[in-house]
Structure 1
Amino acid sequence: MKNRIAAGIVLYNPDDINRVQQCIESVLEQIEHVYIFDNSVQPVQLLKTSQITYVTKANGDEPSCEKVNNVVNSSKVNKNYGIAYALNRIMERAQQDGFDWVLTMDQDSILPSGMIPDFRNRINSDSGRTAIFCPQVIDKRRAYMKAERRDCVVNVEECITSASCTSIQAWKDVGGFDEWLFIDLVDNEFCKRLVSSGYQIKRVNRWVLDQEFGKIIPKSKRSQKFWIRLSQLLHNKNIAKFSYRKYVSPLRVYYTNRNIIYANRKLKAYGPVAYNNYNCKGYLGFIISFNLPSLLRARHKGQVFSAIVRGTFDGLSAHVKLWSPNNE
């Protein structure tokens, strides 16, 4: 039986509309159908050649989608519902339309040519419990990030949502994306539930996605070399992050602090969640490797400190239902 693959793109106030167009075009070259969920406060006006129709919010909680020339479905909500909500609506719609897998993309990511035909072949020949096929992901602005050997497929514990091809059945089995998280660590928490349910995440190393994480400016070549070398000597990957300047968003600091506490409370029976994002093994390491550098780098340190405090409090005080595979 042939597995059908759709794609889903979540928009949120894109700075470069042309880049969004390129993203859509790179996907349509390899996939028959694309769903777009627009989380922007002001609707994104894409070129007419993209054959996108914006559909007003339906009565009730969920936005509606409308089929347009068998090419693009678009959901227009005029409000930011968060990445998890948007992804769930995309997966639901794809399931209704008879698709089996969904490739999720960030609005500014360009899909490597030939990746989806390769993923499709792997999906059709896979006999295991694979939930996600994904590429390697690097940010070329960060000189310390290097692609690994490209002739193998590796089982990994987690992956980012961009350019990941996810089984709708697996998504459904574990209860979908956690919408309370809203934005940060949505992918980490979702992947933890997949792996804890016996699913596999397979990274196909021959494919490499260049993905920009955050607003950063690389320092001089000499400075980059110094910090990367020091990181290697001290065996501490976090030191290499001083090879660039970073804009620190108090809002993202808030959600990161809130969500890392919430996710680890929710999944405490299955081991730590998301700490490896910050090259640490536990909460104390998170404070040292994320909160402290965020304060040091921030232009508005008072706002960032307040975000840390509020995020920590909200993460600790949130009502958490302990998760287990039997809950879904």
Structure 2
Amino acid sequence: MRESVAIVVVLYKAEMSVYHERLLEDEMVTLVVVDNTPDRDLALKKDRLIYVPLQRNMGIATAQNEGIRQAECLGCDYIIFFDQDSKIPERYSEGIIEEYKRIEQLIPNLFLLGPTIINGRTEEEYKSTIHKDIWMTEDFIRRREIISSGSCVSLRKIEEVGLNDDSLFIDYVDHEWCWRAESKGFVNGITLKIKLAHFVGQQEYRIFNQLVIISAPIRYYYQTRNYLWLLRRSYVPRQWKINHGIKLMIYPISFPFKVRCWRAIYVQMFRGLKDGLLNKRYGKSRSGSGIV
């Protein structure tokens, strides 16, 4: 008997796509759509579709947690997460679940399993120039952190690790979850057998062979603030603290020469710096709203 699967998609000022609707062709799948768009209720009604309008932007962490709670109520075995703009290949959910079960037999403490992420702009695989791949099986590479889009996890393991950290709102939510899982003895990683195209940020360029991804200005508030918060947590890898701190100091130097909205980014970084140092917990930046 096949296991039941909940697929959680978070919307923000976007509609359901044909890729999301196609997921319902699998009778073992329930699609949970959590809507972060302020003052909106799409009143979506379909078999095996649960629509949760939050009526305001609560952040990706809270929205995904709501999806997890819905999956728990349904008694699902696995959860798959997708971004609103994910272009999902046919039979993806079946494939990633089969991979999860196969790898879990070899690595029982598997927590999050992600696909191999392909850059939607260049069609090249995203690879770190700093971290070396750690092969644990022929097709499974252990990763310190993976992005949530396309990832799969067993619901019973979430009970041990806990939900996403709502206070982070958006940036590093998936990273923190991976690190917390590792601190509890779990392993995260990607499978080479499943691929997913993903668009990260609004622009990208390279400095000294390092890929610089430019996001909307509001995201730099959360990146700066959350980095300062995560510095204080013992389970966050020291290497990430050092490397990311260097990036936050060095990369912005290039913004005036590469990025049109560099002034707005600097303003958001300053506000994030102030709130991160003072440990102020705003649900979102006072000067901006939401996920872009």
- Asked whether the two chains share a fold, i.e. TM above 0.5, the reply is yes
Counterpart CA distance in 2 for 1:273 and 1:99 is: 36
2:76 aligns with 99
How far apart in 2 are the matches of 1:168 and 1:134?
Answer: 15
- Size of the aligned set, in residue pairs, is 269
Report what 1:202 is aligned to. Answer: 189
CA distance in 1, matches of 2:245, 2:97: 39
Larger Rg: 1
Task: Map 1:6-85 onto structure 2 (within 5 A).
Answer: 6-14=6-14, 17=15, 20-30=16-26, 31-43=28-40, 45=42, 52-53=44-45, 68-69=46-47, 71-85=48-62
What is the aligned partner in structure 1 of residue 109 from structure 2? 129
Give how far 1:274 is off: 5.2
Alpha carbons 1:3, 1:124 under 8 Å: kept: no
State the distance in 2 between where 1:186 and 1:10 align.
Answer: 14
Structure 1 residues 131, 89: closer, same or farther in 2, change over 3 A?
A: same
Matched, 1:307 2:268: yes
Q: Under a length normalisation based on structure 1, what TM-score does the superposition of the two structures give?
A: 0.72
Q: 1:308 to 1:131 in 2, by over 3 A?
A: same
Map 1:259-278 → 2, pairs under 5 A? 259-265=226-232, 267-272=233-238
CA–CA separation in structure 2 for the residues paired with 1:202 and 1:25: 27
Corresponding residue of 1:177: 164
The alpha-carbon deviation at position 272 of structure 1 amounts to 3.2
Call closer, same or farther: CA 1:252–1:168 in 2, change over 3 Å: same
- Within 2, Cα distance between the matches of 1:86 and 1:274? 26
Aligned-residue identity in percent: 23
Q: Give the match for residue 130 of structure 2.
A: none
**TM-score (norm. length: structure 2):** 0.80
Q: Which has the higher contact order (CA 8 A, sep 6+)?
A: 2
Does residue 252 of structure 1 match 2:252?
no
Match of 2:209 in 1: 237
1:45 to partner: Cα distance = 4.1
Q: Give the deviation of 1:144 after TM superposition.
A: 6.0
C-alpha change, 1:75 and 1:120, in structure 2 (3 Å) is same
Change (3 A) 1:215 1:284: closer
1:286 corresponds to which of 231, 248, 262: 248
Shift of 1:196: 1.6
Q: Aligned equivalents of 1:78 and 1:99: distance in 2?
A: 26
Change (3 A) 1:144 1:100: closer
Q: How far, CA to CA, are the matches of 1:181 and 1:136 in structure 2? A: 25
- AA of the residue aligned to 2:109: R
Residue 270 and residue 27 in structure 1: after superposition, are their counterparts in 2 closer, same or farther (change >3 A)?
same
CA contact (8 A) 1:131 1:167 kept: yes
Shift of 1:298: 3.7
Offset from partner CA, 1:110-130 (integer Å, 9 cap, x none):
222233323333444423011
Residue type of the alignment partner of 1:37: V
Answer whether contact 2:34 2:67 (CA < 8 A) is retained. Answer: yes
> How big is each residue's C-alpha offset from its partner over 1:63-114, in whole Å with a ceiling of 9 and x where there is no partner?
xxxxx53x10000122100000001011011011101211011111122223
Q: CA RMSD in A?
A: 2.9
Structure 2 CA distance for aligned equivalents of residues 247 and 191 of structure 1: 23
CA distance in 1, matches of 2:13, 2:166: 20
Hey, which bits of structure 1, 4+ residues long, moved more than 3 A?
122-125, 142-149, 272-275, 293-298
Question: Which structure has the highest strand share of the two?
Answer: 2
Tell me if structure 2 keeps the 8 A contact 1:39–1:78.
yes
Question: 1:7–1:105: 8 Å Cα contact kept in structure 2?
Answer: yes
Q: For residue 42 of structure 1, report the CA deviation from its aligned partner.
A: 4.6
Q: Cα gap change, 1:162/1:303 in structure 2, threshold over 3 Å: closer, same or farther? A: same
Match of 2:145 in 1: 158
Which has more helix, going by share of residues? 1
User: In structure 2, what is the Cα distance between the partners aligned to 1:258 and 1:135?
Assistant: 29
